[in-house]
Structure 1
Amino acid sequence: MEKIKYPVYDYIKFIWKKKLLLIGFTILCMVIGAALSYIKPTIYTSTALVFTGNGNNEKLSKPRLITDTYKDELPEDLSGSLDVKIAEPFQITLSLSGSDKKTVESNTKKVAEQYTNDLTNRFNEQLEVQEKYKNALEEKVIKTEEAISQYTQLVQEKSDENKLDHYLEVLINKEEVAEKYRADLEEVEYDLALAETPELMDVTINQSSNNLLRNALLAGAFGFQLMLVLLVLWKYIINARRALSQRQE
């Protein structure tokens, strides 16, 4: 009668006999993973938070354009790490990463200050234009109101009956124009009242964790699987040699 074989059980039994080797290699890999965590250099990430103000500036409000504009101002080893993100409406973050804490922090502050200054200059230019527009509207309102007063007096006096219709027409037109100027003036005054200057809010720096536990567990899992494969291969070679030997006999 042919003997019944249980290959899976045979492999499990072999692995169980070699369990100390399996466990020992797994622990060794965990130790190596933990050691590598300490060898890996610490990476510092400095982040600047900038309030962009509520001015209209397309070039300095798009992360990609900001990166292209300021990366050339940074050292070569840091320019590639410049990361620009929109944190919230009217808030931009600029981040740099590197192994030297002082260099990372100083360059982050430098590029953030330059960015803030550029925003402020653009904001001031727009503010100046709005102020001039406001002054022009105020003058137009005053002149139009003076004209309304003059034509109102002419209509009341009825000094020239032939021109009365013309005076009334001009008066109505001036009142409509004055109303439009007042509405535009109120709008620009509202915009000026809400105008907020760009400002560098904060610069923070953090260091990367060495991920000791995570690296140790990953290395242990890798070591366990590798040794398991090697043990299965080992057992397969033993079985193959045994089968070959039996055939030769």
Structure 2
Amino acid sequence: MEKIKYPVYDYIKFIWKKKLLLIGFTILCMVIGAALSYARPTVYTSTALVFTGNGNNDELSKPDLITSRYKEELPDEFKSSLNVKADPFQITLSLSGADKEAVETNLNKVADKYTNDLKEDFDDLNEAMDNYKNALEEKVKKTEESITQYEQLIQETSNDSKLISYSEILINKMDMVDKYRADFHEAEYDLALLEAPKKSDVKTIQSSNNNLLKNALLAGAFGFQLMLVLLVLWKYIINARRALSQRQE
């Protein structure tokens, strides 16, 4: 009668016999992972929050464009670590490196440059809106003066055709002045809502120079899987050699 074979059980049995090797290698990898954690340098991350106010445009509001524009202000070792995050009405700039003072100095430099550019854009917008408001105010004033003139003409004229013409012009002028007043008040309101950009103080945090438990567990899991694969391969080679030996006999 042919002997029944249980290859899976055979592999499990072999691995169980080598369990000390499996456990030992896993522990060794955990120790190595923990040791490497302490070898990582301390990293400082500085963050600056910039309130954009109303002074922004695509180039000053999209993270990718901000990054590409302002990383040129940084030394080469910091260019890749510049990170920009956009939220409604605010931009968060962050920079990382091993030298705390250098990180803070360079982030301040970028944040100040960005804030100043926003302020220039804000000043242009503020000036344009102020000019628009003043122009509307002037239109209201001139239209009101014109209305007064036509009201006087209507009172003085006795010509029916002229009276009709002046009345039509007066009605048109009154409609226009109402529109100008509405636009003026809207522009005045929008101007009052304008807020200038401003930068918050730079804050720096020290990232953990090691994640001991996390790195040890990851290294242990890697070591366990690697040794498991090696044990299966070892058992496969043993079985293959045994089968080849039996054929030769």
**Structure-2 residue corresponding to 1:206:** 205
Distance 1:119 1:105 in 2: 21
- Deviation of residue 211 (structure 1)? 2.2
CA–CA distance in structure 2, aligned partners of residues 236 and 184 of structure 1: 86
Once residues 168 and 67 of structure 1 are traced to their aligned partners in structure 2, the CA distance between those partners, rounded to angstroms, is 61
- Give CA-to-partner distance per residue, 1:34-73, whole Å, 9 cap, x none: 1111112233222221111124523212222212221111
Which is worse superposed, 78-87 or 177-186?
78-87
Aligned equivalents of 2:13, 2:38: Cα separation in 1: 38
Measured in 1, the distance between the counterparts of 2:73 and 2:86 equals: 21
| 2:182 equivalent to 1:183 | yes
The residue number in structure 2 matching 1:144 is 143
Q: Which residue of 1 aligns with 2:191?
A: 192
Deviations for 1:104-158, whole angstroms, at most 9, x for unmatched residues? 2221121111101110111112111211221222122112112211211221233
Q: For residue 7 of structure 1, what is the aligned residue in structure 2?
A: 7
For 1:248 and 1:143, how far apart are their aligned partners in 2? 115
CA contact under 8 A between 1:119 and 1:198: conserved in structure 2? Answer: yes
Judge conservation of contact 2:55–2:119 (CA < 8 Å) in 1.
no
Return the letter of the residue paired with 2:66.
Answer: I
Distance 1:245 1:146, change over 3 A: closer
Q: How far is the alpha carbon of 1:182 from its aligned partner?
A: 0.6
Aligned partners of 2:238 and 2:59: how far apart in 1?
70
1:246 shift after superposition:
4.6
Q: What SS does structure 2 have at the residue aligned with 1:49? A: strand
SS at match of 1:206: strand
Determine the C-alpha separation between the residues in 2 that align with 1:24 and 1:122: 64
Aligned equivalent of 2:28:
28
Q: Distance in 2 between matches of 1:141 and 1:244?
A: 105
CA contact (8 A) 2:67 2:84 kept: yes
- Check conservation: 1:55, 1:123, Cα contact below 8 A: yes
Q: Distance in 2 between matches of 1:239 and 1:105?
A: 63
The residue number in structure 2 matching 1:51 is: 51
Q: Deviations over 1:202-237 (max 9, x none)?
A: 433333332221211111111111112222233333
Range 45-54 or range 31-40, more displaced: 45-54
Shift of 1:173: 2.1
> Structure 2: where are the runs of 5+ without partners?
none
Matched with 2:110 is 111
Name structure 1 gaps, 5 residues minimum: none
Task: Give the aligned partner of residue 169 of structure 2.
Answer: 170
Percent of aligned pairs with the same residue?
A: 73
Within the alignment, does 1:223 sit opposite 2:208 as a pair? no
Taking structure 1 as the reference length, the TM-score comes to 0.90
1:115 and 1:50 map into 2 onto residues whose CA distance is: 8
Residues 34 and 216 of structure 2 are in contact (CA less than 8 Å); yes or no, is this contact kept in structure 1? Answer: yes
Instruction: Check conservation: 1:50, 1:202, Cα contact below 8 A.
Output: no
Over the residues paired in the alignment, what is the CA RMSD in angstroms?
Answer: 2.1
SS at match of 2:202: strand
